[in-house]
Amino acid sequence: MSTSVKSQLNKKVFFSASFIIIALLLYTVALPKEAQNLFALMQTSIVDNGSWFYVFTVAFIFFFVIFLGFSRYGDIRLGPDHSLPDYSLVTWLSMLFAAGMGIGLMFFGVAEPLMHFLSPPTAEAGTVEAVQEAMKMTFFHWGLHAWAIYTIVALVLAYFSYRHNLPLTLRSALYPLIGERIYQWPGHLVDVFAVVSTVFGVATSLGLGASQVNAGFSYLFDIDVSVTNQIIIMCVITTLAVASVATGLDKGIKILSETNMALAVGLLVLIFVLGPTVFLLQAYLQNVGDYLSDIVHNTFNLFAYKKTNWIGGWTIFYWGWWLAWAPFVGLFIARISRGRTIREFILGVMFIPTLFTLLWMTIFGNSAIDLVYNQGVVALGDMVSKDSSVALFVFLENFPFTSVLSFLSVLMIVIFFVTSCDSGAMVVDMLCSYGKNDTPLWQRVYWAVGIGVVAAILLLVGGLNALQTMTIASALPFAIVLILAIIGLIKALRVEAFKQDSQLVTTLPHSSGGGDDNWRMRLKNIVDFPNKANANKFINQTVLPAFELVTKELQESHINVEISHENGLSLIVDHGEEQEFIYRVVARKYSQPDFVTEDDDDEQSYYRVEVHLVEGGQDYDIMGWSKTAVIDNIIDQYHKHRHFLHLIR
């Protein structure tokens, strides 16, 4: 299904996206008030007229992802059937958490629950009901729905890239709908949109978060809170991001993500131990129960019978923000998720981070509300209402070891921003390079510096709010694209199911040849551990002649067949517009089991001659089979493939 590309840099996407970013930046800088008014008008119009569509889209995504995780499609692997995950579970969770939610939890962990408590959507402010509703709505905004959006975008990209060898860019999601046109301007436009959305999304987050870092430094080192200091902070963060992105995913981003995950767990444990521990355990269980019991009601609640601006200022804002960030976060998660099954992927991306996120919101949010509601720390509530960026540090003043906790928090915020900036630069670079990540260093540096420059300029001229509003508004067209992509995924998974059904077709037993002594040869192959030379000899002397005989027979039936020596030995049968049949034989190396006694100490491995089909390795060994047995197996697999083509016609 893939089309080869000649150059790594997609100039059409690179220059088009750069031009649009510069144009929007100049417009926002030259006319900040007009830009703010225009984008605010767009957002108001969307909330008034399109909030139902946002709610419908997120609800559809949420229930579809859950269905997918429990369906038969959950066993499908994101990659060939024989592939294994590229990263350990802890490393994988650390990287996706850092890119997906990390900085938001630092900014809103204290602020949002308190804001809902002080101004709840339906309950009376300052009551027990307001406490429960505050935590319930915070869970709703930061829970399963947000991660479901990231999950479906990442899943679509990973499936089509790793399962069908398409570029790891947003365009590939539309392959079932527009086919090869993803390599033309329709595909270029989708990637340009993703680049612009990612750059402005990360830049606005970086700019708005600089105020929180500045607030932390002000508390720790008595540094003035000013735009100048925030620009300096962003320059430092950008420099660190450039260094990280230059070292690559497996070093810079991986190490920073694991470090920050450890720091986050450490800070969480400290607040949990130093705060009202038993109450927090009770609150966590009750909060989860309240959240799950009302999840369907809240999912579809548009406040249609109660006129309020609350849903536009909170729920629709969040749904738009998660959707706007989804191309960036989704592509990054897809990049690090090769080799996992769909079920494992959904569990890891949607459910595990949600449990940690809700635990974080309980420990920080409930502790903050407890300070205001039960202990009378009114100043904390007043400060959140005035400037939410300092809420975390005012909150930490009420705990022992305040300086240590504040320093740890500032360090985490800085690392979270660095990982957001460098992972954003990596994603944008991939979008401009046909999904490749082994690009020249200057491309990654270009985007890392570009994100920092955009954030600094907007912070300097006061245009961050305008671009943030524009980013939220951009979620509307992306939601439409995403629904089309989900339809394409459903079509592709149905084809995958037909493929699996075709593998269940029974065939007549075949003889492996060799006469009465064949059982001895089969037993010898089972207990023997051949080396690489023997495996290659078998492929050349037995498998290749079998391929040649099958090729000759099919060609006489006017079927296009070729034998390829690339990545093993392959028999490729062309079916025109329909999916081709590939029977590939690969010599794979394995470590010998402990019970094997070797005369040669240097021989610590052996080789299996395994069969690979289009969807990947089939995990059986044909080493030592006769030529007739190999031919019979080819015909068995070809029979199943023809039945698969019959099912999808």
Q: Which DSSP string corresponds to 517-538? A: GHHHHHHHHHH----HHHHHHH
Alpha helices, H only, 362-401 = 367-373, 378-386, 391-396
Residue 598 has pLDDT above 80, yes or no: no
Q: What percent of the chain has pLDDT over 70?
A: 90
pLDDT tens digits for 394-405? 899 899 888 888
Residue 521 has pLDDT above 80, yes or no: no
Q: Which residues contact 580 (CB under 8 A, 6 or more apart)?
A: 572, 573, 574, 614
Which token pair is 283?
């609150």
Taking the C-alpha atoms of residue 221 and residue 242, their distance in angstroms, rounded to an integer, is 26
Taking the C-alpha atoms of residue 471 and residue 198, their distance in angstroms, rounded to an integer, is 9
**Amino acid of residue 569:** L
Query: Of all helices (H) and strands (E), which one includes residue 263?
Result: helix 254-274
Q: Count other C-beta atoms under 10 Å from residue 47's C-beta.
A: 20
Q: What local confidence, expressed as pLDDT, does residue 120 receive?
A: 86
Residue of 320, 330, 314 lying closest to 477 (CA atoms): 320
Q: What is the mean pLDDT of residues 268-282?
A: 93
Residue 227 phi/psi, 5-degree rounding, is -65, -40
pLDDT tens digits for 93-111? 887 776 666 677 888 889 8
Selection from 43-47, 60-64, 318-322, 371-375 with the highest mean pLDDT: 60-64
601 falls in which pLDDT band (50, 70, 90)?
Answer: very low
Taking the C-alpha atoms of residue 373 and residue 336, their distance in angstroms, rounded to an integer, is 43
Distance from the first to the final alpha carbon of the chain: 17
Q: What is the mean pLDDT of residues 350-359?
A: 90
Which token pair is 629?
């047995």
Taking the C-alpha atoms of residue 4 and residue 406, their distance in angstroms, rounded to an integer, is 51
Residue 509 has pLDDT above 50, yes or no: no
198-202, 204-208, 313-317, 319-323: least confident range:
204-208
The SS3 call for residue 331 is helix
Taking the C-alpha atoms of residue 394 and residue 432, their distance in angstroms, rounded to an integer, is 43
CA 335: distance to chain centroid? 7
Which token pair is 59?
């609800």
Q: What is the mean pLDDT of residues 183-195?
A: 89
Q: Where are the domains of the chain?
A: 19-120+129-180+190-367+413-494, 511-648
Residue of 104, 645, 156, 88 lying closest to 357 (CA atoms): 104
DSSP secondary structure, 129-169, as one string: HHHHHHHHHHHHHHSHHHHHHHHHHHHHHHIIIIIH---SS
DSSP secondary structure, 69-119, as one string: HHSGGGG-BSS-TT---SS-HHHHHHHHHHHHTHHHHHHHHHHHHHHHHHS
**Whole-number average pLDDT of the chain:** 85
Taking the C-alpha atoms of residue 387 and residue 390, their distance in angstroms, rounded to an integer, is 6
20-24, 34-38, 261-265, 449-453: least confident range:
34-38
Which token pair is 458?
């907007």
Residue 595 has pLDDT above 80, yes or no: no
Q: What percent of the chain has pLDDT over 90?
A: 32
| Inter-CA distances, 492 with 339, 485, 497, 612, Å | 18, 10, 9, 20
Q: What local confidence, expressed as pLDDT, does residue 269 receive?
A: 93
Residue 466 has pLDDT above 50, yes or no: yes
Q: What is the mean pLDDT of residues 438-445?
A: 86
The SS3 call for residue 445 is helix
For residues 257 and 343, which has the higher predicted lDDT (pLDDT)? 343
Q: Which residues contact 378 (CB under 8 A, 6 or more apart)?
A: 372
Residue 470 has pLDDT above 80, yes or no: no
Taking the C-alpha atoms of residue 108 and residue 83, their distance in angstroms, rounded to an integer, is 39
Residue of 564, 565, 586 lying closest to 574 (CA atoms): 564
Which token pair is 437?
């990540």
Taking the C-alpha atoms of residue 353 and residue 237, their distance in angstroms, rounded to an integer, is 25
1 falls in which pLDDT band (50, 70, 90)?
Answer: very low
Q: Per this entry, what is the length of the chain?
A: 649
